[in-house]
Amino acid sequence: MTAPEIKARAAELGFDLCGIAPAGDFKELGFLREWLERGYAGEMSYLARSAERRADVRAVVPSATSVICLGTIYNTDRPYSTEMSDRSAALIARYAWGDDYHDVIQQRMDALVAWMRERAGLDFEARAYVDTGPVQERVYAQYAGLGWIGKNTCVINPELGSWLFLSEIICNLRLEPDVPALDQCGTCTLCLDSCPTGAIVAPYVVDATRCLSYLTIELKGAIPIEHRESIGNHAYGCDVCQEVCPWNAQPADADAPDSPWLPRATFDGRSIAELWRTPDVELRASLKKSAMTRAGVRRLRRNVAVCAGASGDANALSALREVDEPTCDDPMVAEHIHWALELADG
């Protein structure tokens, strides 16, 4: 079984990119240690716990020789948040709009591994991950030629841009590796200049504790007061550093009607007020099997309350005063509602 055969099958299964990286020592793998020591991981303690394994895929699969890296475009034909001047809109990062990518992509990878096993006619080791394993996915993707790690730290493909989910199959097959992708950021600094919180503290370095994606998704408890106003109308995640990137300027392909990445109705183009007025049961049903499921209704409400306060939108603030759903009484959510109303009242 050859690398071109695997790539052809990956394309049939719906992957947009497929490349092979050797299971080697790459200098970028070493940056994780320093990043952790600087405290940039915040509460994401699982990163430190698994740092040793994240340093090399051979700590995960000792016999590993190749990493089959896969990229899946999740962009849909909807405007970027940076094109929308309406501060009353509830912004949700586009990766989270549709079905849970962990499930969709894991199924495609399982099908690819099953095909490889049948084709190889011999047993081999293979471990497939999509954002689920102790692997520095961007580094392997870069060495597999899928794209370069940009100054915003996202993997950017020169033809397709960076709206890509990354996943990989670590295996002990000897496959022809691809040529690593070359950095094409040049003198551009648009992502650093546009980040709402200055989280890109230097080119190629994101301090997660300041990133809106961390503050609105990863943080389980209260959002630190000093970061609340900079959240603006970002209700879940953030896309700004990718939206301003010139490599994402090309229009999205027309949406396939059966695309798993299309937004769910509850979250599609909603205002902060509309989202707040959505009953808990409806929010819960819409989060099911979506990428947003892990945050749950409680954390979503926490974020939307902050958006109401930070945006100062009158309809959103009225909604905050009027709606009384069970999760509004949760002490953590209630504290964020209180903060928003106090800010509005000056």
Query: Applying CB under 6 A, which part among 10-18, 200-208, 291-299, 301-309 lies near ligand B12?
Result: 200-208
Of ligand SF4, ligand B12, none, which one sits near residue 344, judging by CB under 5 to 8 A according to partner kind? none
| Paired strand residues for 19 | 69
Tokens representing 314? Answer: 């009158």
Q: Catalytic residue positions?
A: 131
Smallest distance from ligand SF4 to CB 138, Å: 12
Complex with ligand SF4: residue 77 or 193, whichever CB lies closer: 193
Residues 25-64: x where in contact with ligand B12 by CB under 6 A, - otherwise, as a string: ---x--xx--x--------x--------------------
Contact positions with ligand B12 (CB under 6 A) in 144-183: 149, 152-155, 162, 164-167
**Contact partner at residue 31 from ligand SF4, ligand B12, none, CB < 5 to 8 Å by partner kind:** ligand B12
Contact 340, 317 (CB under 8 A): yes
Q: d(Cα 160, Cα 249) in Å, to the nearest integer? A: 10
Q: Does the footprint of ligand SF4 cover residue 244 (CB under 6 A)?
A: yes
Q: Provide the Cα torsion 133, 138, 143, 145; round to 10°.
A: 120
Q: Which of 238, 245, 305, 310 binds ligand B12 (CB under 6 A)?
A: 238
- Residue 295 binds which of ligand SF4, ligand B12, none (CB < 5-8 A, kind-dependent): none
Between 17 and 316, whose beta carbon lies closer to ligand B12? 17
Closer to ligand B12 by Cβ: residue 35 or 124:
35
- Tokens representing 71 are 């990229």
- Encode 250-266: b = buried (16+ Cβ within 10 Å), e = exposed: eebeeeeeebbbbbbee
Alpha helices, DSSP H, located in the chain: 3-12, 31-37, 45-49, 51-54, 101-120, 137-143, 190-194, 212-213, 225-228, 240-243, 272-277, 280-287, 296-311, 314-322, 331-345
Q: Residue 68: in which H helix or E strand, if any?
A: strand 66-73
Q: Of the two residues 195 and 272, which places its CB atom closer to ligand SF4 in the complex?
A: 195
3-state secondary structure at position 310: helix
The contact set with ligand B12 (CB under 6 A) reads 28, 31-32, 35, 44, 93, 95, 130-131, 135-139, 149, 152-155, 162, 164-167, 204-206, 208, 211, 213-214, 218, 237-239, 241
